[in-house]
Amino acid sequence: MKKSNMKPQPNQDTAALSQRVYDDLKKMIVSGDLIPGNRLNQKELADKLGVSRTPLLAAFNKLIQENLLESTPNRGVYVKQLSLMEIADLYDIRLQLEPLGAQKAAEHVDGQMIQELSNILNEYEEAVKIDNVLRIIQLDALFHSSIMKFSKNSFLYNMVVNFDIIMVSNRIGLLNEHHKSLEEHKALLVAISDGNTEKAKTIMHNHIKDARQNLLHRLSVLNMTYIKM
């Protein structure tokens, strides 16, 4: 990572500075610059971001509330690393929320929505061709969060975006069948484009359910904690 050229500004609004640090840390989590399970060095991060520890700690607290960071008395603050049970819980929540989001997006379908989702899928397909796994995971999250955005339900969108960040930071989806996922995304886009609300809802439900079962099965094969699927 390159050190920021920004220096602490004595008169800079504290809330705005904390928000900037929060945004920077979130980007570092998503990019993999900050690795799940690794302890965060406060002094190093403060120097890198060109801030004092006060806005850094404020950003830490916000990210802890969003389950992106975790704090323990003996370990300090570190990027949250999900257990297999937590991954299952995350998919269970997505299974309830995202089919509704797909249904609502189909209700509000327009040209801008179709174009934006099509562009994401085109990039996704190119990433699959060259087996760029990290980019595939990022584009998968972007496709899902964009559908939630077009649902026009801000509460739903904000929740799913946070889940997507957690999944990307933990590289969840690394073991998914990306070609199959791409075809399911294409079918979902067709249903949304046609304004077929029930079909969009059903496809999204089955897509997330299959992804959950596939991922948990593969992780259990790798000798991670067993969970009943």
Domains of the chain in start order, with CATH, are 14-79 (1.10.10.10), 84-221 (1.20.120.530)
Give 69: exposed, middle or buried? Use CB within 10 Å, 0-12, 13-18, 19+. buried
pLDDT in tens, 95-152: 999 999 999 999 999 999 999 999 999 999 999 999 898 889 889 999 999 999 999 9
Q: How confident is the model at residue 86 (pLDDT cuts 50, 70, 90)?
A: confident
- Kindly indicate the confidence band of residue 187, based on its pLDDT and cuts at 50, 70 and 90: very high
Q: What is the pLDDT of residue 162?
A: 86
Mean pLDDT of 55-62: 94
Question: What local confidence, expressed as pLDDT, does residue 175 receive?
Answer: 59
pLDDT band (50, 70, 90) for residue 221: low
% of the chain with per-residue pLDDT over 70: 89
Burial of 2 (0-12, 13-18, 19+ CB in 10 A): exposed
Of 187, 229, 188, 228, nearest to 212 (Cα)? 229
What confidence score (pLDDT) does residue 190 get? 98
Tell whether the model's pLDDT for residue 199 goes beyond 70. yes
pLDDT at 14: 76
Instruction: Look at residue 228 and tell me whether its pLDDT is greater than 70.
Output: no
Q: Where are the beta strands (DSSP E) in 47-205?
A: 69-72, 76-79
Give this prediction's pTM: 0.78
Region 66-88 average pLDDT: 88
Least confident segment among 19-23, 99-103, 200-204: 19-23
CA–CA dist 170, 165 (Å, integer): 9
At residue 115, the pLDDT reads 98
Query: Rounded to whole angstroms, how far apart are CA atoms 63 and 56?
Result: 11
Average pLDDT, the chain: 87
Residue 151's region, left for phi above 0, alpha for psi from -120 to 50, else beta, is: alpha
Average pLDDT value for residue range 35-53: 91
CB 136 within 8 A of CB 173: yes
